[in-house]
């Protein structure tokens, strides 16, 4: 596809890098010359101009573009550029966040008034993602995979984990669960090549249903937080959650959790607290700093199931989580503005560091497809600290690998099939197993191999 991306901040840049790796033809529009320097050596058309300007859009090739992705930091610029693009017959996707433009409960959807085929609301999408991670702590940054409802979960093995030094192949998982990959020293490898578990390993497991997660957690010697399935939701028994930062993401997160949890939303800014109180019906809003240990004790931090820092300052979020950890909170979650800092947050012991920009970019990328074409492949997760992706391949009847043995399928360097979902069941195929129509392949791949995977599966469907 020919795609125009407007805005070269963290969101736009990640979208551009991924789309180039997938083999799309791109043009970018950015008004800030300094930000344009990030793409100057990339194989694309770059326009230094205003994305809301007709002349800039025409120069970028809007008359022949298949899709405009408006990812600037301005809702108004994104809306105006989308309106213009639609008059040229171009599909549109835009980042729109303000309550002035987006219905209250909408995280993503069509905004016909502004000519936007898909609007993504970063604050609400991020809050929703955080709520899922709190209720299902092992969940990888991904949607549910496959129609059958499989999930990817991952565990970080600490020094005292009972499985450290044991052989990976000796671990017997419940039926319907498979170890698909191991991340070690920034590289994702096949389980067979990883040998024994080591301290600091991230273990990726595909499970066929949520009710298997508790059993897997116990097998790995991890605290399960009394996990159980309630209807179609995963409950963790985590009854009290403390959120520091009454910004948009913090308020949205509190709103999503307050119906089922005791939520304490804290902020040192009285004005923000008053604003938050307008939206919360059950959650408690407390005007106090998140780095005041005396105030935290007074609010009962000793029985908090999770501590979440959602301010717009990465440094504050880091300090707040470290203090909570020192005061005995086991699960901490922090927002990180710069995705490059995620690995640092992990190294110092913050359980779940998350980048709103990365969540927004990944959400937008998952919705990109060629019109009228059933997507054969989709990206379902990004592993930022490993510079890797998880791709799901749907095997249609006409795909070239049907009938081939898995051992004879040659994938690009630094990519491998971690698991296969077949008729709702998860399996780790042997080299002699044969690919069948309807199989869903879960592939772990380094970003440098995405172009070749694209040629193999996403476009031509022809093999080597």
CATH for 296: 3.40.50.720
Say how far apart CA 54 and CA 63 lie, in whole Å.
11
Domain co-membership, 348 together with 240: yes
Residue 138 resides in a domain: no
pTM over 0.75: no
> What is the extent of the structural domain holding 423?
366-458
Domain co-membership, 11 together with 79: yes
Q: What is the DSSP letter of 173?
A: P
Q: Is 439 helix (H, G, I), strand (E, B) or coil?
A: coil
Picking from 181, 203, 234, the residue at the C-terminal end of a domain is 234
Q: Which residue in the block uniquely carries the two structure tokens 């909170």?
A: 329
Domain co-membership, 163 together with 48: no
Number of domains in the chain: 4
Domain co-membership, 316 together with 256: yes
CATH number at 178 reads: 3.30.70.1450
Domain co-membership, 58 together with 101: yes
Q: Which residue in the block uniquely carries the two structure tokens 């379902």?
A: 380
Residue 132 resides in a domain: no
Say how far apart CA 56 and CA 62 lie, in whole Å.
9
Residue 125 resides in a domain: no
Domain co-membership, 348 together with 377: no
Residue 135 resides in a domain: no
Residue 395 resides in a domain: yes
H-run or E-run covering 130? helix 122-135
Q: Please give the chain's pLDDT, 464 residues, in tens.
A: 899 999 999 899 989 988 887 778 999 999 999 999 999 899 999 999 999 999 999 999 999 999 999 999 999 999 999 999 999 999 999 999 988 898 877 888 899 889 899 999 999 999 988 888 787 655 554 444 444 557 788 777 877 888 888 898 888 888 888 899 998 887 888 988 888 999 888 888 888 877 787 788 888 876 554 333 323 334 444 679 999 999 999 999 999 999 888 999 999 999 999 999 999 999 999 999 889 999 999 999 988 989 999 999 999 999 999 999 999 998 899 999 888 888 888 888 888 889 998 889 888 887 776 554 444 555 556 665 556 778 888 888 888 889 999 999 988 888 899 989 888 888 888 889 999 988 888 888 887 777 777 777 754 444 44
Q: Which residue in the block uniquely carries the two structure tokens 């069509």?
A: 110
Residue 274 resides in a domain: yes
Domain co-membership, 310 together with 376: no
Which backbone phi and psi does 292 adopt, to 5 degrees? -105, 100
Domain co-membership, 76 together with 158: no
Tokens of 405: 């043995």
Residue 190 resides in a domain: yes
Say how far apart CA 35 and CA 46 lie, in whole Å.
11
Say how far apart CA 88 and CA 71 lie, in whole Å.
19
Q: What is the DSSP letter of 410?
A: -
CA distances from 274 to 237, 269, 285, 316 (A): 30, 9, 8, 21
């Amino acid at each position: 596809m020919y795609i125009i991306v407007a805005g070269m901040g963290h969101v736009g840049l990640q979208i551009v890098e991924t789309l180039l790796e997938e083999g799309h033809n791109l043009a970018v529009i950015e008004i800030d010359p300094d930000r344009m320097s990030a793409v100057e050596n990339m194989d694309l058309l770059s326009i230094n101009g205003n994305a809301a300007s007709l002349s800039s859009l025409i120069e970028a090739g809007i008359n022949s573009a298949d899709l405009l992705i408006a990812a600037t930091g301005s809702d108004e610029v994104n809306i105006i550029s989308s309106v213009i693009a639609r008059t040229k017959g171009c599909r549109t996707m835009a980042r729109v966040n303000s309550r002035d433009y987006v219905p209250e409960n909408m995280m993503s959807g069509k905004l016909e008034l502004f000519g936007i085929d898909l609007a993504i609301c970063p604050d609400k999408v991020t809050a929703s993602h955080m709520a899922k991670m709190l209720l299902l702590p092992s969940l990888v940054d991904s949607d549910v995979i496959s129609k059958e409802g499989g999930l990817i979960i991952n565990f970080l093995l600490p020094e005292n984990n009972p499985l450290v030094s044991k052989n990976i192949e000796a671990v017997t998982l419940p039926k319907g669960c498979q170890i698909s990959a191991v991340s070690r020293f920034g590289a994702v490898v096949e389980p067979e090549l990883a040998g024994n578990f080591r301290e600091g390993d991230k273990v990726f497991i595909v499970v066929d249903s949520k009710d298997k997660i508790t059993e897997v957690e116990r097998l790995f010697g991890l605290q399960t937080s009394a996990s159980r399935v309630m209807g179609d939701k995963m409950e963790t028994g985590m009854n009290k959650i403390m959120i520091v930062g009454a910004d948009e993401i913090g308020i949205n997160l509190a709103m999503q959790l307050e119906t089922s949890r005791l939520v304490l939303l804290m902020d040192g800014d009285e004005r923000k607290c008053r604003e938050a109180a307008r939206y919360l019906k059950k959650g408690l809003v407390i005007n106090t700093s998140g780095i005041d240990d005396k105030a935290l004790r007074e609010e009962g931090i000793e029985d908090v199931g999770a501590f979440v820092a959602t301010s717009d300052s990465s440094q504050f979020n880091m300090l707040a989580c470290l203090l909570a950890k020192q005061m005995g909170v086991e699960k901490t979650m922090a927002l990180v503005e710069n995705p490059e800092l995620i690995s640092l947050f992990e190294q110092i012991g913050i359980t779940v560091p998350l980048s709103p920009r990365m969540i927004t970019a990944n959400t937008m990328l998952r919705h990109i497809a060629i019109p009228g074409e059933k997507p054969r492949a989709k990206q379902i997760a990004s592993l930022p600290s490993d510079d890797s992706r998880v791709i799901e391949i749907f095997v249609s009847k006409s795909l070239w690998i049907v009938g081939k043995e898995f051992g004879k399928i040659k994938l690009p360097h630094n990519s491998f099939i971690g698991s296969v979902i077949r008729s709702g069941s998860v399996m780790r195929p042997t080299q002699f197993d044969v690919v069948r129509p309807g199989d869903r392949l879960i592939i772990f791949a380094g970003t440098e191999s995405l172009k070749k995977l694209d040629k193999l599966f996403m476009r031509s469907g022809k093999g080597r």
